[in-house]
Amino acid sequence: MSHDPDGLSRGVKLLHDPLRNKGTAFSQAERNALGLRGLLPPRASDLPTQVARVLENTRRKPNDLERYLYLVALQDRNETLFYRVVVDHLEELMPILYTPTVGRACLEYGHIFRRPRGLFVSANDRGCVTEVLRNWPHEDVRIIVVTDGGRILGLGDLGVDGMGIPVGKLVLYTACAGIRPEQCLPITLDVGTESEARRCDPLYLGLQQKRLEGEAYDALLDEFVDAVREVFPDAVLQLEDFANRNAFRLLEKYRHQMPCFDDDIQGTGAVALAGVQAALRLTGGKLKEQTFVFLGAGEAGIGIAGMIVAGMRAEGLAEAEARRRCWLVDSKGLVVRERDDLADHKLPYAHDHPRLPDLRSAIEELRPTALIGASGAPQTFQQPILEAMARLNERPIVFALSNPTAKAECTAEQAIAWTGGRAIFASGSPFPPVEWEGRRIVPGQGNNAYVFPGVGLGAIACGARQVTDEMFFEAARSLAAEVHDEDLALGRVYPPFSRIREVSLSIAVAVAEVAWARGLARVERPADPAAYIRQQMYEPSYTSYV
C-alpha cells in the first residue's frame, strides 16, 4: 500500500506502488526515465490489452474463490487496471468481489491470507489508537468502512476474518461512485470473537479471546471514533456488520458526532423502499395502502420498516398508523406487545395483537401485500407461504434479501413457480433469470451497492457534517426513479448494474441537496451540483509520467 506522494518512486519501488504502477503499460520513454528498462517485458501493452488479459485469466480460474484471489492480487499491484476491469465489467465481477463470494472469502480469511489491506485496530491498541491510524500512508481519507466482525452477512461472528467486508465495500465505493481508491480506508476492530472454532484455529489471525463487552468495548469504540475525527477530519464513517446488540446504539451515539451511518440499517432500508416503490408501479396502489410482514427483526428488518414508515408518512399517514402496517416475525413468532422478551429496537413495531407462533400463521392472519425476508434463515419462504401470498394478492411482492446466496429465504425460481409466475421478486444476492411459460423474468437484486456508494459520494462532495435518515429517504426516491419501464417489463425492480455510476451520481446529488437545504454542508452549493459532483468522480486511466 506504499505510495510516494512526491512522485519520486523509480524502478522496482514504482512497480510495487499499486497506485502508480502501470505494469506492462509503461511506455518506452517512461521506462527509460523511471529506471524500468529491463524490469518489464520489452513490448508495452495499452490499458485495453491489459484488461483483456485480466479477463482471460479471471475466466479460466476453476471457481469464484480463485477468481476473487486473482482479482485481489491485481488490486494489490495495480489499482488503475483493477478498477478499469471492475468498472467495465461490474455485472460479471460484482458477485465475485462482493456477495456471495466475499462471504466464502471471509470464512476462509486466515487460510487464504496473502497480504494485509486496510488497518487492524485491536483491543491491545487501547490507549494508542490515534498512533495506529497515523500509520496509514494516505492522509486525505474521505470514507472509512469499519466492522468489528460481529455479524458478517448472515454468517455470524467471524472476528477479524470479517475484514473482507470493509475491503469489498470500498471496492464498490470506487467502482460504483468514483471515490478515489487512496481516499478509502477499510478498518477492522479486533475485539475478539465468540466463535470457538476461530479461537482454536492455529491459522486464525485475530485475538484468540472472547469478545470485549460492556465498558471495555465502549471505551475502545469511543477512542476509535475520537481518533478518526482527529486523524481523518474529512472522513465519512460507515458502520458495517456490527451485531444487533451494538449496531443501533452505536449509530445513535456517533451519528451526531461526525458524518456516520450504518449501512445494514439505513442503506438496507433505502434499497428495500426503492424496490417496493418500483414494484408498486406494477401492482398499482400507494405505499400507505400496503401491509408488510418482515421475517427478521434485526438491523435489516428494522431499517427497512423504518424507511417504509417514512415513505408512508410522506404520503400523509400518521406515524403510528404507518407502523401498524409493518409487522415483524422473529424466531419466537409475531412481535407483539404482550411479549416480555423483546429488545428495545423491536418495541416500536410490537403491536396489540394475539400471539402468533410463526410466519405462516402471520401471513394468514395479517394478509400482507408484501413479504420481506431479512432473517439470515435460508429456505424459510416455503411453498405453502408463497402459495398463500399468491392466494391473497394478484401480484405479491416477495423480497428475499438475506445474504449470501445460501442464506436467501427462497430462490427466484421458487418464488416464481410457487406463485404461478405472479410474484414481484427481489433478492440480496444475484439469481439467474427464470423462464416461466415462455416469459423471461429477470429477478432484481436489492443490493446495498445501489445506495451506499452514492450516499458516501454526496456526503463527501458537499462536506456533510452529518448523514441523516432524510438523506437515505431521498436516496431511495432517486433509486426508484432510475427504474425504467423496460426494467419493469422484465420483472426487475432495480436498474441494471451497468448503469450504477449514473445511479450513484443521481443519489449523490439528492443527498447533497438535503445537506445544503438543512445547513449541514461545509461546501457552498455550486450552480450545477450534478456537474460539480461528476467532475470529482474517479475514472480509472493511466497517467503519463514523461
pLDDT of residue 8: 56
pLDDT of residue 255: 96
**Which three cell numbers, joined as nine digits, stand for 471?**
438523506
pLDDT of 18: 95
CA distance linking residue 224 with residue 130, whole number of Å: 8
* pLDDT surpassing 60 at residue 537: yes
Q: What is the pLDDT of residues 481-501, one digit of tens each?
A: 999 999 999 999 999 999 999
Q: Give domain 101-258's CATH superfamily.
A: Malic enzyme, N-terminal domain (3.40.50.10380)
Give the per-residue pLDDT at 230: 98
The mean pLDDT value for 272-282 works out to 97
pTM above 0.85, yes or no: yes
Catalytic residue among 68, 83, 98, 204: 98
Q: What's the average model confidence in pLDDT over 431-451?
A: 94
In 10 A of CB 544, how many CB atoms? 9
DSSP state letters, 145-176: EEE-SSS-TTS---GGGGGHHHHHHHHHHHHH
Q: For residue 442, give the 3-state DSSP assignment.
A: coil
Burial of 352 (0-12, 13-18, 19+ CB in 10 A): exposed
Q: How far is CA 19 from the centre of its chain?
A: 24
Q: Is the pLDDT of residue 289 over 60?
A: yes
The Cα 541–Cα 491 span in angstroms is 36
pLDDT of 302 > 90? The answer is: yes
> Is the model's pLDDT at 363 over the cut of 60?
yes
Q: pLDDT tens digits, residue range 122-155? A: 999 999 999 999 999 999 999 999 999 999 987 8
pLDDT above 60: residue 4: no
- C-alpha span between 292 and 328 (Å, rounded): 8
Which CATH number applies to 11-96?
Answer: 1.20.1370.30
Domain parsing of the chain, residue ranges: 11-96, 101-258, 266-449
Residues 546 and 544: their CA atoms lie apart, in Å, by 6
Distances (CA, A) of 183 to 173, 291, 295: 10, 42, 37
Catalytic residue among 22, 169, 346, 407: 169
Examine the pLDDT at 543 and tell me if it is beyond 70.
Answer: yes
What are 157-202's pLDDT values in tens digits?
999 999 999 999 999 999 999 999 999 999 999 999 999 999 999 9
**Fold: same for 101-258 and 266-449:** yes
**Angstrom distance (rounded) from CA 433 to CA 440:** 7
Please answer whether residues 38 and 71 qualify as being in contact, where contact means their C-beta atoms are separated by less than 8 angstroms: no
Q: Average pLDDT in the 442-470 region?
A: 96
Q: For residue 2, is pLDDT > 60? A: no
How does residue 3 score in pLDDT terms, banded at 50, 70 and 90?
very low
Q: What is the mean pLDDT of the chain?
A: 95
Q: Is 538 helix (H, G, I), strand (E, B) or coil?
A: coil
Share of the chain above pLDDT 90, in %: 95
pLDDT at position 50, please?
98
Query: pLDDT per residue over 82-106, tens digit each?
Result: 999 999 999 999 999 998 899 999 9
Residues in CB range of 487: below 8 A, 6 or more apart: 278, 493, 494, 495, 496
Q: Are 511 and 267 in contact (CB under 8 A)?
A: no
Residue-level pLDDT at 368: 98
- 305-331, pLDDT tens digit by residue? 999 999 999 999 999 999 999 999 999
Cell of 320: 403510528
More confident residue, 403 or 235: 235
Of 3.40.50.720, 1.10.10.2520, 3.10.150.10, 3.90.1150.10, the CATH number of 266-449 is: 3.40.50.720
Q: Which of 376, 380, 372 is nearest to 407 (CA)?
A: 376
98 labelled catalytic = yes
Q: What is residue 429's predicted lDDT score, i.e. its pLDDT?
A: 86
